[in-house]
Amino acid sequence: MTIVTRFAPSPTGRLHVGNIRTALHNWMLAKKNGGTFLLRIDDTDAERSREDYIEAIRADLAWLGIVPDAEERQSLRLAKYQAAFDALKQAGQVYPCYESPQELELKRKIRLGRGLPPIYDRGALDLSEEERAAKEAAGSVPHWRFKLEHDEPIAWNDGVRGAQKFDPAQLSDPVIRRADGSWLYMLPSAVDDLDMGVTDVLRGEDHVSNTAVQIQMFTALIAAQYPARQMPAFAHEALLVGKEGKLSKRLGSLGCDAFRERDIEPTAIIALLARLGTSLPVEPIADRAVLLDTFDLSTFGRAPAKFDETELERINAALVHQLAFADVADRLTDGIDEAGWHAIRPNLSHVSEAAEWWRLVIGPIEQPELSEDDRAYLEEAARLLEWGDEPWRALTGALKEATGRKGKSLFLPLRQALTGMAHGPDMGELLPLIGEEQARKRLEAAARG
């Protein structure tokens, strides 16, 4: 059977790092198995859904290289949900409820006060047809709930969490349709998963109780409307936390816009999130084929996955050091050629830092404070400078022989005079880029003090 997964964001905001991880893992699960990855825009909430958020979701996924094989929008599938609702209503699996939000909250408090689970008491099921008709005649418009069967436990083997079991009597019959006729998450999601042939639902562990409810919903829908379909397999991965604990308050600032502003490479985000929360080491792996080859739900842990921005920066720097000139040429300041990129690349944490390091080549530089001995040494360096294939090697060799200096005293004053810094790119690569004329001028200027 072909694997079909889906990522189903609601376009009521921008994607954050938690959403991205879910999308990535669903894409990886599909692609490792030669399957299909769907993007399903869950936009049934007409009041809060926005077209610009939909465009941003598409753009962010494209930037990350998470390319869906197809896209669906729930707002274009309302007739499907109506048909499923009618079938469930005919089968006695949904029922109207007339309580106001205030009445429901009062019922919840009463149950809590009695030491009972704060679930819906199914009071609407006790209403007679005459009582329902009277409520509607008085202007009360019902919302609708799915009726859970209480005769046996709800159980499934979760792809991450293992054997799961819920007592349906401890769960509320979920509201599936509001009084205004709009849909809540539960029913459209189940209808779409069956109608689109989704085989695997991989999502966060905060959906575990939703899955328990939806399993009965899937069973009812298959019996009433989709006899040729099978229920998908379920897996729930641990949620992300930060170094100091809960991450949710900061998720909004950890989206693709923030990553782009910090010049984080998409490959770094993918490398980190692909293995975050698994037993596999997080490594600076740019080749997605390698990540796909090692992707396995059996490696996913139950403990919260720690998202560490310092670790992301470390992965980013390591991947920048792997980037070929062709990968970054259109992002570099004018003048940086392949030799220049190769020289400065090891000192970069972000590609955007290249311009600052390139200043060491094109100048101007700030001459450091040097001792009288070092100034005399640099005057000798300017005199001995000869240009050839390896000018740095030739210069340091000549100076070592002429002055007896070695190690730090040999190399550091030269680096400081030529770049204005005590550290930086390999001078063997950098000096040819500076050029003979500019190098001599800098050595003479440093000698003068």
Check the CA dihedral 186-190-192-193 and report its sign: positive
Cα separation of 335 and 344, whole Å?
13
- Rounded to whole angstroms, what are the CA distances from 170 to 97, 147, 209, 236? 19, 13, 11, 21
249 is in an annotated binding site: yes
State which H helix or E strand residue 204 sits in: strand 200-204
Q: Half-sphere exposure (CA, 13 Å, Cβ side) for 228?
A: 3
Q: Half-sphere exposure (CA, 13 Å, Cβ side) for 118?
A: 9
Q: Hey, what's the torsion of the CAs at 273, 279, 280, 282, to 10 degrees?
A: 50
**Residues belonging to the chain:** 449
Report the amino acid identity of residue 240. L
Contact predicate 442/365, CB 8 Å: yes
Contact predicate 85/75, CB 8 Å: no
DSSP 247: -
Check the CA dihedral 326-330-331-333 and report its sign: positive
DSSP 351: G
Contact predicate 230/197, CB 8 Å: no
Q: Which residues are annotated as a binding site for ATP?
A: 249
Q: Which residues are annotated as a binding site?
A: 249
